[in-house]
């Protein structure tokens, strides 16, 4: 894999890198819209998978963009994914095992929605909250703006529909599901919290983590299903360090003025990369020129396996 098209500069002990696109990821499938998908970041993250990587473990999977990319680019032979959102993981299991049946159900719902898309969405949202049916979740994710899931305090899915759109056409969804399923055969799917998968990962595995953003997680989090307390997360990372686990963390989108996010604790001895990820959508909308910077942290065990990160980015 070509890892040379990085540019690098020093910045307060962290490295600022602007990874180029990996040709191996052209046409990588994505199964459904999901807020916070790391599709764009996959071009950077895959560069930090050692050639002897066993399983890629993704405990905050969501739409699992990094796992899909790693399988698509033949960087891993095995993926283990997990998310605290149980219906989401049930939907993932169906994508892998039964993409055709799931696509059939989506098509039936999409066709039925045409007479009254607004009313149909509300009816299906109610039905989902009663049944947690994964096929209905797929329909809801395709109808809401940018896959931005929202949950009420009682755990009910309460996001509204984007009433200007009907959701992706059935033929498109069928293709997305079929292609994703093919790439992800053999994946192990769990639902639950991330800790055990992280702490008990074997030394050949690499754990990629994209926890919910810091800014919205110290208080009640209505984005995603659960927030994450930073102290708890750092405690789990310490245990993973003690076990010699190789891991990569995406934590916060920070801007050059550091307006968002505080770095993860220095005692974790992580290698901190700032990835230049291009203009943010919000900045572009408001006519700004700022570049979005994404933080990526590499664990000491991973850096040791890689040799040195500087040699990768030089
Ligand atoms: C930023 S999203 C991940 C997006 C993912 N990288 C992608 O490509 O789609 C964070 C995910 O973490 C999940 N989550 C929140 N708390 C969790 C926990 N304690 N354990 C496991 N998953 C959790 C949320 O349900 C959400 O899907």
Number of domains in the chain: 2
Q: Assess if residue 185 is contained within a domain.
A: no
Q: Which atom of ligand 1 is nearest to the CA of 83?
A: 22
Residues 206 and 296 in one domain: yes
Going by alpha carbons, the residue nearest to atom 7 of ligand 1 is 37
Shared domain check, 138 and 38: no
pLDDT of 219: 44
Per-residue pLDDT tens digits for 138-154: 999 999 988 999 998 88
Which domain does 115 fall in, by range?
Answer: 91-179
Ligand 1 pocket test, candidate residues 32, 83, 159, 195, most atoms within 8 A of CB: 83
Distance separating alpha carbons of residues 181 and 185, to the nearest angstrom: 6
Whether residues 97 and 167 fall in one domain: yes
> 287 C-alpha vs ligand 1 centroid, how far in Å?
31
- Residue 288 and residue 150 share a domain: no
Protein residue with least CA distance to atom 24, ligand 1: 224
Q: How far is the CA of 147 from the centre of ligand 1 (A)?
A: 13
pLDDT at 5 over 50: no
pLDDT above 90 coverage of the chain, percent: 67
119 and 14 housed in the same domain: no
Contact 1, 46 (CB under 8 A): yes
Q: Which residues contact 113 (CB under 8 A, 6 or more apart)?
A: 120, 121, 166, 167
For the segment 157-197, what is each residue's pLDDT rounded down to a tens digit?
Answer: 999 999 889 999 999 999 999 999 999 999 999 999 999 99
The CATH number given to whatever domain includes residue 257 is: 3.40.50.150
- Decide if 3 is inside a domain: no
Nearest CA owner, ligand 1 atom 20: 193
The answer to whether residue 125 scores a pLDDT higher than 90 is yes
Atom of ligand 1 lying closest to residue 225 CA: 25
User: What is residue 311's predicted lDDT score, i.e. its pLDDT?
Assistant: 62
Q: What is the mean pLDDT of residues 219-234?
A: 70
Strands lying side by side in the sheet with 291-298:
8-11, 14-17, 271-279, 291-298, 246-254, 206-209, 55-58, 78-83, 188-191
**Together in a domain, 79 and 106:** no
Residues 198 and 156 in one domain: no
pLDDT at residue 124 greater than cutoff 90: yes
Q: State in Å: Cα 83 to ligand 1 middle.
A: 6
The number of beta carbons lying within 10 Å of the beta carbon of residue 230 is 16
Residues having CB closer than 6 A to ligand 1 are 34, 36-38, 59-60, 62-65, 83-85, 193-194, 210-212, 224-226, 228
pLDDT digits (tens, 9 = 90+) for 69-112: 999 999 998 999 999 999 999 999 999 999 999 999 999 999 99
Residue 140 counted as domain residue: yes
Q: What is the mean pLDDT of residues 221-230?
A: 67
Do 99 and 79 fall within a single domain? no
If you take atom 15 of ligand 1, which residue's CA is the nearest one? 226
pLDDT averaged over every residue in the chain: 86
Which of 33, 61, 67, 82 has the most ligand 1 atoms within 8 A of CB, as the residue to mutate?
61
Q: Which residue has the higher pLDDT, 164 or 7?
A: 164
- Tens digit of pLDDT for each residue in 238-264? 999 999 999 999 987 555 555 556 788
| Alpha carbon 87 to chain centroid, angstroms | 16
Same domain? 294 vs 155: no
pLDDT digits (tens, 9 = 90+) for 107-121: 999 999 999 999 999
């Amino acid at each position: 894999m070509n890892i040379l098209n990085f540019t690098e500069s020093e910045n307060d002990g962290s490295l600022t890198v602007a990874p180029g696109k990996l040709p191996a990821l052209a046409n990588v499938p994505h199964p459904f819209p999901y807020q916070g998908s790391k599709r764009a970041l996959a071009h950077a993250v895959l560069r930090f998978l050692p050639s002897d990587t066993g399983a890629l473990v993704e405990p905050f999977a969501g739409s699992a963009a990094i796992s899909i990319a790693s399988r698509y680019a033949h960087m891993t032979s095995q993926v283990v994914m997990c998310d605290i959102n149980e219906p989401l993981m049930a939907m993932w299991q169906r994508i892998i095992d039964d993409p055709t049946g799931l696509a059939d159900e989506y098509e039936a719902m999409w066709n039925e929605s045409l007479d009254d898309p607004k009313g149909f969405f509300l009816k299906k949202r109610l039905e989902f909250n009663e049944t947690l049916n994964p096929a209905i979740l797929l329909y809801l994710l395709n109808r809401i703006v940018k896959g931005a899931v929202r949950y009420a305090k009682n755990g009910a899915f309460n996001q509204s529909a984007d009433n200007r759109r009907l959701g992706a056409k059935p033929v498109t969804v069928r293709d997305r599901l079929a292609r994703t399923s093919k790439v992800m055969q053999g994946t192990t799917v769990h639902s639950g919290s991330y800790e055990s998968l992280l702490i008990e990962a074997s030394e050949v595995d690499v754990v990629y983590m994209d926890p919910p953003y810091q800014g919205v997680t110290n208080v009640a989090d209505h984005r995603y299903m659960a927030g994450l307390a930073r102290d708890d997360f750092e405690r789990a990372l310490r245990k993973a360090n003690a076990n010699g686990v190789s891991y990569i963390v995406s934590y916060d989108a920070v801007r050059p003025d550091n307006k968002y996010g505080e770095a993860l604790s220095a005692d974790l001895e992580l290698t901190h990369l700032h990835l230049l990820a291009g203009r943010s959508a919000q900045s572009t909308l408001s006519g700004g020129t700022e570049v979005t910077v994404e933080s990526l942290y590499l664990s000491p065990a991973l850096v040791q396996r890689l040799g040195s990160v500087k040699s990768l980015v030089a």
